[in-house]
Amino acid sequence: MIIIDKLAYSSKLRYKNPAVKAAFAIGNLLICVGARSFIVSMIIFSVMAGLTVLSSKISITRYIKLMGIPFGFMVLSTVAIVVNITDKPMDLVSFPVGGKYLAVSWHSLTEGARLVAVAVASVSCLYFLTLTTAMLDILAVLRRLRCPRIMIELMMLIYRYIFVILDMAGAITTSQNCRLGNRNFITELRSIGQMLAVLLIRSLKKTSLLYEAMESRCYNGEIKVLNEYYPVELRDAAGVAIFLSLMLVIALLL
Amino acid sequence: MNEQMIKDDHHIILKLEGVCYTYEDGTEALKGVNLDIRRGEKLAVMGPNGSGKSTLFLALNGIRRPTGGLVLFNGVPVDYSRKGLLDLRKQIGVVFQDPDNQLFSASVTQEISFGVLNLGMPEEKARARVEKVIEDLNITPFRDKPTHFLSGGQKKRVAIADILVMDPEIILFDEPAAALDPKHARMIEEIIDQLNERGITVIVSTHDVNRALIWADRIALMDEGVIVSVGTPDEIFSDDEVLARTNLEKPTVLKIFDTLCEAGITDRNGSIPHTAEDLEKILKR
């Protein structure tokens, strides 16, 4: 999570208009899910992965590792679709189990592969957005889309305090480990429990301190801030539009 | 009111008359604080932990409404209505000790713009002000970094910018050098001095006696919720009794100076040294 955040800030595409990037990612995601086509998915995946790796300081191995996280879930859920429990053996592989067969057909296998492709491509679209766009720029897009103010303010505060609370948690854990709080499994469990309890208390304390600090700056119920604005570059917008139309045409033709 | 009194009153920007504050759990944090704060001065507030310094600061900008006594800003008792408090907090800014309790946004620009937009300033004007403060406090090199990747000193500068952008008359600094390395502490001290030169009244809480001796126009010593003594650094640090009561050490320079006086090398007739350089001059005479 922190690595993704760091990469987003150092991406070459960071200062591109976030709405254009979001349109590119979400547009492709919709086409990908709508078309459910192996070829379209593969094209979108290659473009997204290529752009992400080239624009960010992310190595290909790290990108593959990041993709690996959701990939595990995808494979597990696809197994249920690929492998059938049938009365009769099927055309590719069949294992007799009891009176039935655990069987895979060509059809179910291609269906499974297609699903994985669509899922991988969809994830690559979202990774493109998260790895090139800072969280606050995504919030700026949501604000433009008239997302409720309370949600955006909450996301903004949560995003900021994730890091503050992670720091606190890290410091507490380190101090516990210095006193052998991780000596064995039982002590470790106890340490984690105590750490979480302390974290809750400190977070509550921090909440009231933060509120006082905000009140000191004339806070009156609405978080008003200036947003960074990155101008839309015509070239990027045109590129996105052309690519999306192209994908749409391919999806319709297939 | 005669003319002399009006004139005197004009020098006093904030006046506390018997200010008391008791927390909901019954802790009496302030037990009748009397203090005059002069326009444009550098005031250091010193005292042991738990002596009420932080509560005092929050009482000054109306976050803690005194349970007794009066706070007068420019001679007028503070109006605790919503509107009155907004006006007060526009004029009295607080830079909190831990920037992580103050910075609520991951973006430096967003963070700094918060206060100034709360004053109801139009966006264009607010943006210009934010840009000016970013430049003044040398925030430009890290303005595009998210706040969670900033160093302690950088966060502190953003925390000061937060307040400065609102153009207050008084800024309260709660232990500004706490947790900073000497270089960054020096940098923050320089910023505070620059603000004071611009005419902003600066109140700093600190435990650093050596720094207070050099820096402050006046020092207010707090203990157990009251101000025990107020005076120039020379007055405060020559009063061994209040120093002992508030657990403060005498500044190193003054300790050496005392020893030199006792040994007959110099006497107390000249000016009292504040810095190591002052001592050197005395010795070379």
Taking the CA of residue A217 and the nearest CA in chain B, the distance in Å comes to 5
Count other Cβ atoms within 10 Å, centred on residue A163: 18
Task: Quickly tell me which residue has 């264009």 as its tokens.
Answer: B124
- CA pair distance B19, B23, nearest whole angstrom: 13
Number of cross-chain residue pairs from A and B with Cβ atoms under 8 Å apart: 104
Average pLDDT of the residues in B68-78? 93
* ∠ CA A154-A155-A161, rounded to 5°: 90
Note whether B90 contacts A: Cβ–Cβ < 8 A. Answer: yes
Q: What percent of chain B has pLDDT over 70?
A: 96
- CA pair distance A238, A193, nearest whole angstrom: 53
pLDDT band (50, 70, 90) for residue A71: confident
pLDDT band (50, 70, 90) for residue A99: confident
Residue ranges of alpha helices (H) inside B61-151 are 82-91, 108-118, 123-136
Taking the CA of residue B275 and the nearest CA in chain A, the distance in Å comes to 35
**B44: β partners:** B204, B219
Average pLDDT of the residues in A166-190? 91
Q: For residue B103, list chain A residues with Cβ-Cβ distance below 8 A.
A: 160
Grouping H, G, I as helix, E, B as strand and the rest as coil, residue B5 is helix
- CA pair distance A178, B172, nearest whole angstrom: 37
Q: What percent of chain B has pLDDT over 90?
A: 81
| Residue-level pLDDT at A148 | 93
In this structure, are residues B203 and B45 in contact, taking their beta carbons and an 8 Å threshold? yes
pLDDT band (50, 70, 90) for residue B29: very high
Tell if the CB–CB gap between B123 and A223 is shorter than 8 Å: no
- CA pair distance A214, A223, nearest whole angstrom: 9
- CA pair distance B270, B257, nearest whole angstrom: 12
Q: Which of A159, A213, A218 sits opposite B90 (nearest CB)?
A: A218
Is the CA virtual torsion A84, A88, A93, A95 positive or negative?
positive
Entry pTM: 0.85
| Residue-level pLDDT at B10 | 66
Q: Which of A96-105, A199-208, B100-109, B206-215 has the lowest mean pLDDT?
A: A96-105
Average pLDDT of the residues in B122-145? 94
Average pLDDT of the residues in A135-149? 91
Who has greater pLDDT, A27 or A80? A27
Is the CA virtual torsion A130, A131, A135, A138 positive or negative?
negative
Tell if the CB–CB gap between A224 and B118 is shorter than 8 Å: yes
CA distances from B219 to B33, B41, B44, B180 (A): 15, 11, 5, 22
**A95: β partners:** A102
Report the complex ipTM: 0.85
Q: What percent of chain A has pLDDT over 90?
A: 54
In this structure, are residues A251 and A40 in contact, taking their beta carbons and an 8 Å threshold? yes
Q: Encode burial over B166-185: b for 16+ CB neighbours within 10 A, e otherwise.
A: bebbbbbbbbbbeebeeebb
Taking the CA of residue A160 and the nearest CA in chain B, the distance in Å comes to 5
Please tell me the number of Cα atoms within 13 Å of B48 on its side-chain side: 13
Q: Which of A9, A216, A224 sits opposite B89 (nearest CB)?
A: A216
Taking the CA of residue B114 and the nearest CA in chain A, the distance in Å comes to 5
**Closest residue of B to A214, CA-based?**
B102
Please tell me the number of Cα atoms within 13 Å of B55 on its side-chain side: 26
